[in-house]
Structure 1
Amino acid sequence: MESATNSITSLPNYLILNGLVVDKKAVTAYNDNPSFISTSEKSLMNFLLNWFSDDETLVMKTSGSTGTPKVITASKKAMVESAKRTIAAFGLQKGMNALLCLSTDYIAGQMMVVRAMVSGMNLITSDIEANPIKNLNQPIDFAAMVPLQMMKAMQESPEKLFLIRAVLLGGSGISKALEEQLSGVSTEVYHSYGMTETLSHIALRKVNGLDATNWFSPLPDVSVELDVNSCLVITAPYISLIPFFTRDIGEINDKGQFRIKGRIDDVIISAGNKIHPEELEKLISSFVESEFIISSLDDDQAGQMIVLVLQAKFNTLNLYSLWEKLTFALRPHELPRRVVSLPNLPYLESGKINRIRVRELIAEMADA
Structure 2
Amino acid sequence: MKPLVRVSATDVAGLTFALRRALSGGPAVWPVPGAGRVVALEDAGEVEDGIALVVETSGSTDAPKRVLLSGAALRASAVATEAALSGPGQWLLALPGHYIAGAQVLVRSIVAGTEPVVLDGDGFEPTAFAAASARLDRLRPRYTSLVPVQLSRLVEAARTDRTVADALHRFDRILLGGQAASPSLIVAADALGLRVTRTYGSSETAGGCVYDGRALDGVRVRIVDGRVEVSGPMLADGYLGDPARTADAFVTDADGTRWYRTGDLGDVAYDGILRIRGRADDVIISGGVKVALGEVERAVRSVPGFGDAVVVRVPDAEWGERAAVVTMRTDAAAASDALTTLVAATDAAGLTPAARPVRLELIDRLPLLASGKPDRRALEARMRGGREEG
Report the alpha carbon displacement of residue 195 of structure 1 after superposing the two structures with TM.
0.3
Query: Residues 274-304 of structure 1: CA distance to partner in whole angstroms, max 9, x if unpaired?
Result: 3322333233324235843111112121111
Contact 1:59 1:74 in 2 (8 A): yes
Change (3 A) 1:238 1:281: closer
Q: Is the CA contact (8 Å cut-off) linking 1:100 and 1:109 kept in structure 2?
A: yes
Matched, 1:303 2:300: no
Q: Give the Cα–Cα distance (whole angstroms) in 1 for the partners of residues 376 and 71 of structure 2.
A: 32
Paired residue for 1:76?
71
Note if 1:274 corresponds to 2:290.
Answer: yes
Which of the residues 364, 380, 383 maps onto 1:359?
380
Gaps of 5+ in 1: 1-30, 32-38, 206-215
- 1:64–1:348 contact (8 Å) kept in structure 2: no
Residue matched to 2:227: 231
Whether the 8 Å contact between 1:61 and 1:71 is mirrored in structure 2 is yes
Does the 8 Å contact 1:176/1:283 carry over to 2? Answer: no
In the TM superposition, residue 50 of structure 1 has moved relative to its aligned partner by 4.7
Alignment partner, residue 243 of structure 2: none
> Is the contact made by 2:16 and 2:106 (CA closer than 8 Å) also made in structure 1?
no
C-alpha change, 1:289 and 1:202, in structure 2 (3 Å) is closer
1:253 aligned residue (258, 265, 269): 269
Q: Percent identity?
A: 25
Q: How many residues align?
A: 315
Q: After the TM superposition, which of the residue ranges 190-199 and 335-344 deviates more from structure 2? A: 335-344
Preserved contact between residue 288 and residue 322 of structure 1 (Cα < 8 Å): no
SS at match of 1:133: helix
Q: 1:186-265 residue pairs with structure 2 within 5 A? A: 186-205=193-212, 216-228=213-225, 230-239=226-235, 242-265=258-281
Q: 1:49 aligns to what? A: 18
From 104, 111, 120, the equivalent of 1:111 is 104
Q: Give the residue type in structure 2 aligned to 1:268.
A: I
Single out whichever of 323-332 and 344-353 deviates more from structure 2. Answer: 323-332
Post-superposition offset of 1:233: 1.1
Which one-letter code corresponds to 2:283 in the other structure? Answer: V
Q: CA deviation at 1:130?
A: 5.1
Give the structure-2-normalised TM-score.
0.73
Name the TM-score, length of structure 1 as normaliser.
0.78
Q: Structure 1 residue 349 and structure 2 residue 370: aligned?
A: yes
Write the mapping of 1:318-333 to structure 2, written as runs, cut at 5 A. 318-331=334-347, 332-333=353-354
1:65 aligns with 60
The answer to whether the Cα contact below 8 Å between 1:98 and 1:141 also exists between their aligned partners in 2 is yes
Partners of 1:43 and 1:105 within 8 A in 2: no
**Inter-CA distance 287–116: structure 2 relative to 1 (3 Å threshold):** same
Structure 2 unmatched runs, 5+: 1-6, 28-49, 160-164, 237-256, 348-352
* Higher deviation after alignment, 105-114 or 129-138: 129-138
Distance 1:101 1:122 in 2: 14
Query: What secondary structure sits across from 1:352 in the alignment?
Result: coil
Residue 281 of structure 1: SS of its match in structure 2?
Answer: helix
Provide the C-alpha distance between the structure 1 equivalents of 2:104 and 2:285, rounded to a whole number of angstroms. Answer: 37
* Counterpart residue number, 2:130: 134
More displaced stretch, 267-276 vs 64-73: 267-276
- 2:153 corresponds to 1:152: yes
Does the 8 A contact of 2:10 with 2:96 survive in 1?
no
- Asked if the contact 2:310/2:326 (under 8 Å) is kept, the reply is yes
How many Å separate the matches in 1 of 2:304 and 2:229?
34
SS at match of 2:191: coil
RMSD over aligned CA atoms reads 2.6
Distance 1:67 1:149 in 2: 24
Matched, 1:293 2:332: no
- CA shift in 2, pair 1:62/1:318, >3 Å: closer
Change beyond 3 A, Cα 1:273–1:288: farther
